[in-house]
Amino acid sequence: MKQVLQIFVVGWLLLLAQSSDGLALVGGKMIQGATPKNIGLSLRHSTNPDIQLAHHTEEEWQEFLRQRRAKRNRLKRQRRERRLRRKASRSKRFDAKTTKRRQSRRRLARAKTNRQTAVKKRTGLYNRQEVSYRSGEKPGTVIVETSTRHLYYVLNNKRALRYGVAVGKQGFSWSGKSTIKRKVEWPTWYPPKSMIKRKPSLKKWEGGQPGGPKNPLGAAALYLFQGDKDTLYRIHGTNAPSSIGTAASSGCIRMRNEDIKHLYSKVHNGTKVIVR
């Protein structure tokens, strides 16, 4: 520590050496007009020199030290403030990203919950079941209520079997009276020309898509006629059971494959069908 102090003192004395009134006591000797040379010689030839400063020089030295401490403290404070600002900025960016991620996860979770709830509601509402139903039609008549997405097979005593269905989307819906004149299990699907025009990718099935799990007509189809004229509308199964309860078809009435099989076993050619 003493050596460090000596170095500082020597540096200060070297600065004072340029002034005419610089005074230094080196090795017990007062040096008037101290210069780097004579101070250096005195220090080199003194084994443990006691360095003292003249009164006015000591005050200047203390002032210098005070200023240096103040500068050092100011620089430390500025560095600390910069670190805090950087830390706050990083924390703010991190918090913003974290908040966005959390909000995104919450939105996805809510959407998933809503979808699951909607599916559960649809599943319960559109399950096959026997219900009370006043229609005024004879037993064995098929009635499709497009507004509620239900198909009713009329029974005796004002009862009916109710099935969930998907109906034609806007611009493709159909209503009226018709008759079933053809029943086919796992039918071949022939896309209408108007549909091929809307969806050119269906041109490959212009000659017919064989029946099977991927066929849009599903497990069975009931062909609707008005007199001897094919309406081109069907009551059929589907390869998209999640669409039941919606308006998603191109005008035909979709049913779950298990439901169309159940209805298929009950109706016959000549059964009256009312779509309203």
Confirm whether 268 is a catalytic residue.
Answer: no
Q: Which phi and psi (to 5°) does residue 166 adopt?
A: -110, 140
Of 150, 252, 262, 268, which residue is the catalytic one? 252
Confirm whether 252 is a catalytic residue.
Answer: yes
DSSP per-residue string spanning the chain? -HHHHHHHHHHHHHHHTTSTT-EEEETTEEEET--HHHHHHHHHT-SS--EEE-HHHHHHHHHHHHHHHHHHHHHHHHHHHHHHHHHHHHHHHHHHHHHHHHHHHHHHHHHHHHHHHHHHHHHHHTS-EEEE----SPTT-EEEETTTTEEEEE-STTEEEEEEEEEEPTTT---EEEEEEEEEESPPB---HHHHHH-GGGGGGTT-BPSSTTSTTTTEEEEEEETTEEEEEEEE--S-GGGTTSEEESSSEEE-HHHHHHHHTT--TT-EEEE-
Kindly give the interhelix angle for 2-16 and 55-125, rounded to the nearest 10 degrees.
120
Of 55, 236, 262, 268, which residue is the catalytic one? 236
**Which residues are part of the catalytic machinery?**
236, 252
